[in-house]
Amino acid sequence: MKLENSPFLKNCLIKFSEPFGEFYLFEKFIVSEINEGVHFDWEKAEILINRVHEYFGTTEVEINYLSNRVHSYSVTAQDWLKFYQERHTVDRVAIVAYEKKGFLSVQLEKMFTKSNYKTFNSLEEAVEWLS
C-alpha cells in the first residue's frame, strides 16, 4: 500500500519528491517510496539526508526510517557503512516488502546496518513499530 492511500497521510508533516522517489516526513520517522527500477546509492542517499536536514536541522535528531517498498528497486547495501562514517544516525529501520524478492535483499542490507532493523508485511505494522 502506498502511503498516500493510507490513513497515515493525515499525520505527514511534509511530503517531497525527488527524481528517484517520494518521501514523507513525520514527527519521528521518514517514509521513502523509491521509484521502480531505481538503483538507490550513496549519491541519492545524500540528497535525501540533506532534505531531511533542511526540515529538522543538523543537530542530533532521533529519526527513524521506513522503506515502503511498493516498487522494485536495488540498493547498494554497503552504503550503510558510508552513512555511519559520515556520523549520521538512525535508531530504527523498518522495511515493508511486498514481494519475496524484497525480503531477500533486505537480509543482505541488514548485514551492513548498526540500527535496529526489522521487516514487515504491512505499512500498518511498520508505522506502529516506529511510533
Q: How confident is the model at residue 19 (pLDDT cuts 50, 70, 90)?
A: very high
CB 2 within 8 A of CB 71: no
Q: Retrieve residue 94's grid coordinates.
A: 523498518
Other C-beta atoms within 10 Å of 82: how many? Answer: 15
Predicted confidence (pLDDT) per residue in 96-120, tens digit: 988 766 555 666 566 566 667 898 9
Query: 38: buried, middle or exposed (CB in 10 Å: 19+, 13-18, 0-12)?
Result: middle
Q: To the nearest whole number, what is the mean pLDDT of the chain?
A: 86
Predicted confidence (pLDDT) per residue in 56-83, tens digit: 887 666 789 999 999 988 888 777 677 7
Mean pLDDT over 23-44 rounds to: 94
Domain ranges of the chain: 3-55+62-121
pTM: 0.86
The fold adopted by the segment(s) 3-55+62-121 is Transcription Regulator spoIIAA (3.30.750)
pLDDT for position 53: 86
* Distance in angstroms (rounded) separating the CA atoms of residues 114 and 109: 11
Q: What is the 3-state secondary structure (H, E, C) of 77-106?
A: CCHHHHHHHCCCCCCEEEEEECCHHHHHHH
pLDDT for position 57: 81
Instruction: Classify residue 15 by its DSSP letter.
Output: E
pLDDT for position 114: 64
Q: Residue 37: which region, alpha, beta or left (left: phi > 0; alpha: psi -120 to 50)? A: left
Sequence length of the chain is 131
Residue 90 has pLDDT above 70, yes or no: yes
